[in-house]
């Protein structure tokens, strides 16, 4: 196995690195000087020593005090996994993390994360051949820096080793929940070509394609070298909204009664087809809104306030989880024998990812009567930017409203109009990421001691291109110059603007492209690491040899996100972005020893010291014990202390300027729902439509936020323990069970904006004209006996406007405690002439998941196990039958059921009695919680000749469709499959 490395964050100056290396070799010198005859070992035994993830010491026994799960290449094939993300989806210890296709508008768009134990990507360390990769260019939520697992070369993965134990004493920061070490082929000779194609039965547009070419030459034992390279291509087709449209779970349509009625109107409403829109006005006395479809509308809809003209702009949109993705990964690995005792090695990885999501075309012009668009920007500081779309004046050449409509506001009218299609999929989002890592080093031996040193440089350049928001200058060029109407005081557009309403032309398209331009958000990360270590025997005890390892790390880390200039100056509406500029040097020393205390008892101790700027050196110890009670029974346990250093996004300079989604303002939520609840009782359809549209509309809103870095942050700390047993009662059965415990404190978190004490500044909109119009519509309904509604004497009204913005700062706050049991059972059966059968069951059984968002005593939210996204059990069942030239696999993935509520506080409003989740109605029979979910895959592989392999996999074999999930923005659980049965064909040929 390739050596596991650590990562601090900085390069040592040359004199210091030489000094550290001198100390390490000085410590080991007495062992080097021992008489070689006393250290003579059987060469076969020495060759059998390997390095296991989680340790720097080579050993002959792969079972260590720490539990390590190995996922083989065959396991990956049985899963039907094409990417590392799909592998982790089938790992019980892993929890759902960010998925690239569903990552749009998250700040780290276009990337995927690893998440062990549910502690987040920031608590899981991802390695490639034992060494770190650079962080993805854009942090998740503009805070969490993580490794993009999509950048790891899938074609050359030999196996994955997952250390489900803390490893900060060995690897440093981030390794709190565990370590995922992806291990590639150590060498390769020949040429191999492979291709895979996936298609789904339920979605015509679904498709995944993958192709790889791997070739190598040279034999280390005969030629003294081996070099191989692999190129992997992956492509996933986007899923347009028209395919998602009628494939949501049934309850979604019950909760959205106007969804089908308002969205399935086709005549005169498609993109690229002229649509005259509709006008509206606000009665200055009653505050009631009046709507009127413009002349020529072919798609009139009756609403509470009059008539509107309906259009579609969603048909080609792919933002709802269906982005196109193309990836190219190139990998080169070389080993060269320098001398009898020294080997040079080098490794290069390069990944190019291009993800695109069509946002649907075109966009709409809509005069603002509700909340203005609000956002922060870098150069405007704490001042909230706002934008209201102007009105049409009485003399505007496109003001074709009826005399009655014009009379309401002295000729001034609002306009809602479909800006005609600019073509070419202009609107939407694109993400590109170019990442690399180059490693070069030497390894060898001096006497019985092994040594290794390497320099690694890694980096990423991520760009998000967004075409969704207004550029204020471009918008004014199309519709300005603006003036103020003397009668109403409202801002109005030019009476004869450059944009020609009712026309589809290149001139109009050019103006739309300037009004809604594509702007970029660029990010760069860099990671340079110098490391070195020595490993070998120190001395002999009666029970055996004591082996030790000593090493150092020196790392330079940088992170730079300058921000788009227009967005930085507040010219881009609703822009979520950031500006970071940080760099730091970090240093680490580590040591480890394996001590055989008795013939049956072995102790593993490790100690690491990391020095980061702005806080004192961090000491991370680890102690492990392994006891071979019987030849068939081994006991093991570990205790360690882990840490996570603040990332440069959290502790550097700059800030996050973004929208916070799902912000819940209890005051506005209650007031809007009180109005909507009465309207929904009306016998008049227009009242019901308005009530349906208003229901919960103010309970989850986008709010402008600014989260500021904090250079006084301290590292998160954790205490981690495991206790387990490995039992092999026969040569065909092995069973392991490991209890795990993690207590993390001093967590680095963004402000909880639902708590006033964590908000340094807040602003609210005034009560808007739309609010007043809603109140007027309610009053009109209550005054009409035909509505059939008995209204209260005092009608509900708005007391305040919606929250516009919040400001806060990252802080150390809160703690998490989790524990549970991992169980793994493997059976191996020799069937004689019928081949071989392997069977495996793996499960993670959660016991506690406790969280406290502040530093008070107790656990305010209670035990989260059994609540939403925290199932008690996750498990997999895997069987593989090899018979002649046939290889058959059957794989089942199981996720246990949960409550709909997130915790016991949330359960007061969302429970079986209310039959709601996230305050939304649930499907009949599902009031008690999210049901257990499982899917099964079947794979058959045939080798008709020695060099050719052909395989067929059916994923989701039983064509199971997901249940309605009100907590997930996709309307079904993230771990469920909405594509139905997926068919996959694979062919591999070796020359």
* Segment 805-833, tens digit of pLDDT: 888 888 898 899 999 999 999 999 999 99
Beta carbons of 796 and 778 less than 8 angstroms apart: yes
User: How do residues 444-503 score in pLDDT, each as one tens digit?
Assistant: 999 999 999 999 999 999 998 888 889 999 999 999 999 999 989 899 999 999 999 988
Q: Which helix (H) or strand (E) holds 626?
A: strand 618-630
Task: Estimate the crossing angle of helix 685-694 against helix 666-679, to 10 degrees.
Answer: 160
Quick check: 42 pLDDT over 50?
A: no
Q: How many residues does the chain have?
A: 991
Give the whole-number percent of the chain exceeding pLDDT 70. Answer: 91
**Cβ neighbours, 10 Å, residue 246:** 10
Residue pLDDT, tens place only, 543-554:
999 999 999 999
Q: How confident is the model at residue 195 (pLDDT cuts 50, 70, 90)?
A: very high
Mean pLDDT of 272-277: 79
**CB 224: neighbour CB atoms within 10 A?**
14
Alpha carbon of residue 575 to chain centroid: 20
Say which range, 220-234, 329-343, 755-769, 779-793, has the weakest mean pLDDT: 755-769
Cis amide prior to 362 (ω within 30 degrees): yes
Q: If DSSP codes are grouped into helix, strand and coil, which group holds residue 879? A: strand
Query: Is the pLDDT confidence value at 424 over 90?
Result: no
Q: Is 22 exposed, middle or buried (0-12, 13-18, 19+ CB in 10 A)?
A: exposed
Q: Report the pLDDT averaged over residues 25-50.
A: 41
| Three-state secondary structure readout of 803-872 | EEEEEEECEECCEEEEEEEEEEEEEEEECHHHCEEEEEEEEEEEEEEEEECCCCCCCCCCECCCCCCCCC
The H or E element spanning position 183 is strand 178-184
Pick the closest to residue 176 from 852, 721, 731, 949 (CA basis). 721
Mean pLDDT of 102-122: 81
pLDDT digits (tens, 9 = 90+) for 138-169: 777 667 788 998 888 878 888 899 999 988 99
> pLDDT grade, residue 762 (50/70/90)?
confident
Query: What are the tens digits of pLDDT across the range 312-349?
Result: 766 677 776 678 999 999 999 999 999 999 999 999 99
Closest alpha carbon to 568 in 706, 810, 381, 808: 381
Rounded to whole angstroms, the Cα distance separating 251 from 461 reads 42
In 3D, which of 711, 713, 703, 710 has the Cα closest to residue 657?
703
Summarize the confidence of residues 958-967 as an average pLDDT.
95
- Do 740 and 677 contact (CB within 8 A), yes or no? no
Distance CA 733, CA 441 (A): 41
Give the span between the Cα atoms of 816 and 966, in whole angstroms: 26
The more confidently predicted of residues 777 and 361 is: 777
CA 11 to chain centre: 30
What mean pLDDT do residues 733-744 have?
A: 96
Name 273's Cβ contacts closer than 8 Å, sequence gap at least 6.
none
Residue 908 CB contacts under 8 Å (≥ 6 apart), including other chains: none
**SS3 label, residue 207:** coil
**Among the ranges 612-616, 628-632, 767-771, which has the highest mean pLDDT value?**
628-632
Residue with the larger pLDDT of the pair 81 and 440: 440
Q: What is the pLDDT of residue 266?
A: 55
Phi first, then psi: what are they for 217, rounded to 5°? -150, 160
Could you tell me whether strands 373-375 and 385-387 are parallel, antiparallel, or unpaired per DSSP bridges? antiparallel
3-state helix, strand, coil in the chain (%, to 5): 15, 45, 40
Enter the tokens of residue 526. 């860099």
CB 690 within 8 A of CB 791: no
Q: For the packed helices 769-782 and 685-694, what is the interaxial angle rounded to 10 degrees?
A: 140
Provide the pLDDT for residue 107.
Answer: 66
Helical segments of 683-832, H only: 685-694, 769-782
pTM of this prediction? 0.85
Q: Measuring CA to CA, which residue among 854, 863, 853, 855 is closest to residue 818?
A: 863
CB-CB contact of 305 with 280 (8 Å)? yes
- Per-residue tokens: 326: 């193309």
- The mean pLDDT value of the chain amounts to 87
pLDDT value of residue 8? 34
Cis peptide before 260 (omega within 30 of 0): no
User: How far apart are the C-alpha atoms of 249 and 960, rounded to whole Å?
Assistant: 12
Encoding tokens for residue 946?
């020695």
Least confident window among 24-28, 113-117, 550-554, 888-892? 24-28
Closest CA to 74 of 984, 943, 882: 882
User: Hey, which of 242-246, 707-711, 931-935 has the most confident mean pLDDT?
Assistant: 931-935
Q: How confident is the model at residue 49 (pLDDT cuts 50, 70, 90)?
A: low
Using a 10 angstrom Cβ sphere, with 0-12 exposed, 13-18 middle and 19 or more buried, the burial of residue 642 is buried
Which residues does residue 356 pair with via DSSP β-bridges, in sequence order?
324, 430
Rg value, the chain, Cα: 31
Inform me whether the pLDDT recorded for 10 exceeds 50.
Answer: no
Q: Is the sign of the CA dihedral 816, 842, 978, 141 positive or negative?
A: positive
Query: In this predicted model, which residue has the larger pLDDT, 674 or 141?
Result: 674
Number of CB atoms found within 10 A of residue 260's CB = 12
- What is the pLDDT at residue 89? 83
Backbone φ and ψ of 476, nearest 5°: -70, -30
pLDDT class of 63 with cuts at 50, 70, 90: confident
CA angle in degrees (0–180, nearest 5) for 692-696-698: 120
Collapsing DSSP to helix, strand or coil, 976 comes out as: coil
pLDDT for the residue numbered 17: 36
Rounded CA-CA distance 896/875 in Å is 8
* pLDDT above 70 (res 22): no
Number of H helices, E strands in the chain: 16, 47
The confidence band for 48, taking pLDDT boundaries of 50, 70 and 90, is low
Q: How far apart are CA 582 and CA 618, in angstroms?
A: 21
Token readout for 470 is 């207004």
% the chain with pLDDT above 90: 57
Segment 363-382 mean pLDDT:
83
- Tell me the average pLDDT across 341-370: 90
As a whole number of angstroms, the distance between CA 890 and CA 872 comes to 24
């Amino acid at each position: 196995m390739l050596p596991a490395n650590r990562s601090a964050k900085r390069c040592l100056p040359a004199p210091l690195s030489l000094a550290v290396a001198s100390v390490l070799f000085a410590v080991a010198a007495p062992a080097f000087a021992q008489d070689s005859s006393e250290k003579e070992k059987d060469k076969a035994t020495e060759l059998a020593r390997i390095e296991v993830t989680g340790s720097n010491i080579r050993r002959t026994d792969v079972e260590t005090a720490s539990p390590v799960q190995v996922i083989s290449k065959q396991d990956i094939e049985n899963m039907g996994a094409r990417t590392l993300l799909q592998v982790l989806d089938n790992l019980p210890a892993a929890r759902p993390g960010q998925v690239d296709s569903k990552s749009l508008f998250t700040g780290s768009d276009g990337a995927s994360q690893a998440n062990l134990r549910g502690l987040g990507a920031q608590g899981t360390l991802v390695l490639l051949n034992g060494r770190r990769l650079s962080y993805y260019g854009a942090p998740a939520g503009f805070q969490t820096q993580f490794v993009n697992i999509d950048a790891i070369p899938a074609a050359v993965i030999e196996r994955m080793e997952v250390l489900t134990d803390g490893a900060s004493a060995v690897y440093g920061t981030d390794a709190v929940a565990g370590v995922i070490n992806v291990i590639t082929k150590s060498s390769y000779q020949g040429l191999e070509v492979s291709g895979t194609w996936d298609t789904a039965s339920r979605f015509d547009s679904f498709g995944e394609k993958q192709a790889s070419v791997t070739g190598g030459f040279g034999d280390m034992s005969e030629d003294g070298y081996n070099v191989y390279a692999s190129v992997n291509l992956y492509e996933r087709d986007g899923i347009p909204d028209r395919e998602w449209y009628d494939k949501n779970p049934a309850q979604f349509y019950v909760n959205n009664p106007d969804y089908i009625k308002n969205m399935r109107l086709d005549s005169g409403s498609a993109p690229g087809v002229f649509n005259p829109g509709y006008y509206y006005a606000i009665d200055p006395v009653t505050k009631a809104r009046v709507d009127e479809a413009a002349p020529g509308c072919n798609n009139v809809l009756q609403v509470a306030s009059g008539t509107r003209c309906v259009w579609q702009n969603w048909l080609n949109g792919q933002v709802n989880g269906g982005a196109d993705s193309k990836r190219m990964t190139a990998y080169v690995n070389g080993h060269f024998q320098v001398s009898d005792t020294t080997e040079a090695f080098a490794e290069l990885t390069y990944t190019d990812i291009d993800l695109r999501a069509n946002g649907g075309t075109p966009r709409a012009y809509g005069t603002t009567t509700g909340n203005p668009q609000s956002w922060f920007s870098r150069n405007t500081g704490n001042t909230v930017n706002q934008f209201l779309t102007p009105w049409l004046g009485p003399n505007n050449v496109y003001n074709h409203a009826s005399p009655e409509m014009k009379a309401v506001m002295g000729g001034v009218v609002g306009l809602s109009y479909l800006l005609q299609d600019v073509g070419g999929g202009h609107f939407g989002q694109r993400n590109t990421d170019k990442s690399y890592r180059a490693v070069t080093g030497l390894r060898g031996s001096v006497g019985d001691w092994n040594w290794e040193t390497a320099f690694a440089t890694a980096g990423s350049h991520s760009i998000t291109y967004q075409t969704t928001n207004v550029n204020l200058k471009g918008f004014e060029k199309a519709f300005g110059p603006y003036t103020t109407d003397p009668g109403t005081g409202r801002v109005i557009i030019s009476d004869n603007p450059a944009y020609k309403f009712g026309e589809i032309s290149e001139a109009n398209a050019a103006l739309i492209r300037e009004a809604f331009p594509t702007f970029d958000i660029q990010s760069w990360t860099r990671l340079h690491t110098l490391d070195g270590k020595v490993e070998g025997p120190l001395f002999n005890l009666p029970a055996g040899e004591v082996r030790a390892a000593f090493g150092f790390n020196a790392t330079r880390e940088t992170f730079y996100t300058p921000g788009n200039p227009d967005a930085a100056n507040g010219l881009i509406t609703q822009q979520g972005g950031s500006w970071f500029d940080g760099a730091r040097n970090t240093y680490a020393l580590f040591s480890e020893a394996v001590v055989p205390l008795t013939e049956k008892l072995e102790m593993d101790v490790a100690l690491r010291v990391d020095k980061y700027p702005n806080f004192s050196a961090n000491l991370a110890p680890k102690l492990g014990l392994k006891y071979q009670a019987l030849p068939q029974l081994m006991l093991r346990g570990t205790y360690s202390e882990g840490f996570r250093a603040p990332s440069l996004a959290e502790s550097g300079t700059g800030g996050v300027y973004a929208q916070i989604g799902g912000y819940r303002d209890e005051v506005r939520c209650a007031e809007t729902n009180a109005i909507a609840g009465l309207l929904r009782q009306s016998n008049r359809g227009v009242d019901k439509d308005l009530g349906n549209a208003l229901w919960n509309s103010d309970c989850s809103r986008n709010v402008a936020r600014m989260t500021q870095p904090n250079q006084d942050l301290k590292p998160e700390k954790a205490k981690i323990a495991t206790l387990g047993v490995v039992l092999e009662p026969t040569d065909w059965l092995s069973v392991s069970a490991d209890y795990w415990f993690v207590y993390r404190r001093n967590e680095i978190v963004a402000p909880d904006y639902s708590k006033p004490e964590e908000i340094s500044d807040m602003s609210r909109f005034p009560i808007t004209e739309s609010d007043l119009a809603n109140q007027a519509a309610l009053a009109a309904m209550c005054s009409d006996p035909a509505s059939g509604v008995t209204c209260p004497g005092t009608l509900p009204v708005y007391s305040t406007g919606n929250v516009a913005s919040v400001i806060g700062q990252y802080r150390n706050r809160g703690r998490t405690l989790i524990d549970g049991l991992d169980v793994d059972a493997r059976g191996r059966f020799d069937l004689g002439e019928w081949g071989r059968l392997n069977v495996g069951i793996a499960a993670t059984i959660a016991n506690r998941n406790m969280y406290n968002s502040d530093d008070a005593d107790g656990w305010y939210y209670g035990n989260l196990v059994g609540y939403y996204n925290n199932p008690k059990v996750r498990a997999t069942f895997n069987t593989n039958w090899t018979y002649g030239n046939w290889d058959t696999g059957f794989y089942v993935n199981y996720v246990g059921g949960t409550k709909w509520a997130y915790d016991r506080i949330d359960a007061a409003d969302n429970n079986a009695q209310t039959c709601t989740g996230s305050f939304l109605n649930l499907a009949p029979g599902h009031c008690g919680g999210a049901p257990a979910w499982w899917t099964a895959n079947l794979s058959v592989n045939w080798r008709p000749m020695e060099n050719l392999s052909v395989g067929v996999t059916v994923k989701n074999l039983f064509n199971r469709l997901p249940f309605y999930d009100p907590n997930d923005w996709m309307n079904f659980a993230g771990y469920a499959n909405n594509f139905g049965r997926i068919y996959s064909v694979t062919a591999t040929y070796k020359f």
